[in-house]
């Protein structure tokens, strides 16, 4: 009867621990990135009852205890948001965040920008990753298709300025293609050209039959003019000559570069039949293409499925400016829980690692989606059912103590 007290007390303690775990799960059912915990109970030592014949016929347990808690690894559901900085991991992996101490790991991707343009969690922890190194003074220095993920120990706080400019790339070459025909009509061609101030100007070519014409082939005088789109400002005028053989192929071009509001533009008319030609019995046509890009301002950031942070600009251009790191562990169950959504590495989990591709390059090894968040992985139906079972267990063990007490009272009365 005395043992019944200890058995009942241990049972109450075990059930109470289980209730605490399940209650914490239920309380965090709406916490983004929360990983629920499961419990494992084990029996304490048992006393064996031996019959007169020497065989073991039964045993008496002396109670139970909480052996361990385990993290539930199943992913939670995903919900759409209205912020591009909200990220969700589809698959295995952890975001890395860091305050003043060692890195911590979480599935909660509710990130945003602080006053310093650092990508941070709601409570100010910096999100870790690799910067592209192509931003300086609020200006994009060069465009990148992707950013290589550095080593695990070299990840840094991600900083993406909320104001970022795409620099102007002035036009340096304008290429023309077309047929001038063989008549004496004046022909004109034009191309859009960008100056160093990000203005889009016009380069106009005017072709006039030379006088006199050569004995074989044809010759045209060319005047190149750069001007503003409205035609009010003329930046430069250059003249030259182009000649064609009797088959209409371009054989010479003396047209020099033309100044486009401070930037020289080379005029490429091609050679032979690759470019400008002078052919009879063929439609007259013209086309042009020029390099150069107008400057643009930041529209926003997006995150691709492989973790690339992509900056998009008003001129339609895009560039990768960083990569969000996704960490992996040999044993996720071995992580130490710091809070409901954050964990730290331990000897049981092993060191944080990055996956690598066939070329030995670090990769995130999973998919990332922006405008989405992963919800808690707690199953409310299962949690409430477990809570009822544990409560019944607690009541049963409490009744055991009451029964043992009544039995002792009766024994004393006898």
DSSP 337-375: ESSSSEEE--TTT---B-EE-TTS-EE--SEEEESEEE-
Q: Judge if 25 and 90 occupy the same domain.
A: no
Q: Judge if 134 and 217 occupy the same domain.
A: no
Q: Is residue 317 part of a domain?
A: no
Chain position carrying tokens 């009509």:
185
DSSP, collapsed to helix, strand or coil, labels residue 400 as helix
Residue 188 near residue 206, CB atoms below 8 Å: yes
CATH number at residue 222: 2.60.98
Backbone angles phi, psi at 404, to 5 degrees: -60, -40
Q: Is residue 312 part of a domain?
A: no
Q: Residue 148 has what pLDDT?
A: 92
Q: How many residues are present in the chain? A: 414
C-alpha distances out from residue 394 to 5, 13, 25, 152, 381, Å: 14, 8, 19, 46, 20
CA dihedral 382, 384, 386, 392 (to 10 degrees): -150
In b/e form, how buried is each residue of 103-139, taking b as 16+ CB within 10 angstroms?
Answer: bbbbbbbbbebeeeebbbbeeebbbbbbbbebbeeee
Q: Judge if 91 and 119 occupy the same domain.
A: yes
pTM of the model: 0.74
Q: Is the dihedral of CA 30, 31, 36, 37 positive or negative?
A: negative
Q: Judge if 206 and 251 occupy the same domain.
A: yes
How many domains are there within the chain? Answer: 3
Q: Judge if 20 and 108 occupy the same domain.
A: no
DSSP, collapsed to helix, strand or coil, labels residue 380 as helix
Q: Judge if 286 and 177 occupy the same domain.
A: yes
Q: Residue 107 has what pLDDT?
A: 94
Average pLDDT across each block of 10 residues of the chain; the chain has 414 residues. List them in order.
73 84 88 86 67 58 74 88 91 92 93 87 93 93 93 92 93 96 94 94 96 93 96 95 96 96 96 94 94 93 88 94 95 89 92 93 91 91 86 83 81 81
Domain boundaries, position 343: 81-161+322-374
Q: Is residue 260 part of a domain?
A: yes
């Amino acid at each position: 009867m005395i043992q019944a007290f200890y058995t009942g007390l241990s049972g109450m303690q075990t059930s109470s621990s289980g209730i605490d775990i399940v209650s914490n799960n239920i309380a965090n059912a709406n916490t983004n990135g929360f990983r629920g915990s499961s419990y494992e109970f084990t029996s304490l030592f048992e006393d064996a009852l031996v019959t007169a014949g020497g065989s073991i016929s039964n045993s008496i347990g002396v109670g139970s205890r909480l052996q361990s808690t385990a993290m539930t690894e199943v992913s939670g559901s995903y919900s759409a948001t209205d912020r591009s900085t909200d990220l969700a991991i589809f698959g295995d992996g952890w975001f890395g965040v860091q305050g003043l101490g060692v890195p911590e790991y979480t599935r909660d991707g509710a990130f945003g920008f602080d006053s310093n343009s650092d990508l941070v969690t709601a409570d100010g922890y910096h999100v870790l990753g690799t910067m592209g190194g192509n931003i300086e003074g609020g200006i994009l220095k060069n465009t990148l298709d992707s950013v290589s993920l550095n080593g695990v120990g070299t990840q840094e706080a991600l900083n993406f300025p909320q104001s970022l400019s795409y620099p102007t790339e002035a036009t340096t070459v304008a290429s023309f293609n077309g047929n001038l025909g063989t008549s004496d009509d004046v022909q004109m061609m034009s191309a859009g050209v960008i100056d160093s101030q990000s203005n889009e100007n016009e380069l106009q070519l005017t072709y006039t039959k030379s006088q006199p014409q050569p004995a074989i082939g044809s010759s045209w005088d060319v005047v190149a003019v750069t001007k503003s789109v409205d035609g009010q400002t003329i930046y430069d005028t250059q003249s030259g000559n182009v000649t064609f053989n009797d088959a209409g192929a371009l054989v010479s071009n003396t047209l020099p570069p033309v100044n486009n509001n401070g930037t020289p533009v080379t005029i490429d008319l091609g050679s032979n039949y690759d470019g400008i030609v002078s052919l009879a019995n063929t439609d007259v046509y013209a086309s042009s293409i020029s390099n150069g890009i107008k400057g643009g301002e930041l529209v926003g950031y997006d995150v691709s499925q492989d973790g690339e942070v992509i900056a998009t600009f008003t001129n339609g251009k895009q560039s990768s400016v960083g990569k969000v790191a996704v960490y992996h562990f040999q044993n996720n169950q071995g992580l130490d829980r710091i809070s409901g959504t954050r964990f730290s590495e331990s000897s049981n989990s092993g060191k944080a690692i990055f996956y690598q591709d066939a070329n030995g390059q670090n990769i995130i090894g999973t998919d990332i989606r922006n405008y989405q968040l992963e919800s808690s992985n707690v199953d409310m139906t299962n949690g409430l059912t477990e809570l009822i079972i544990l409560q019944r267990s607690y009541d049963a063990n409490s009744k055991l103590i009451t029964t043992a007490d009544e039995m002792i009272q009766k024994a004393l009365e006898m």
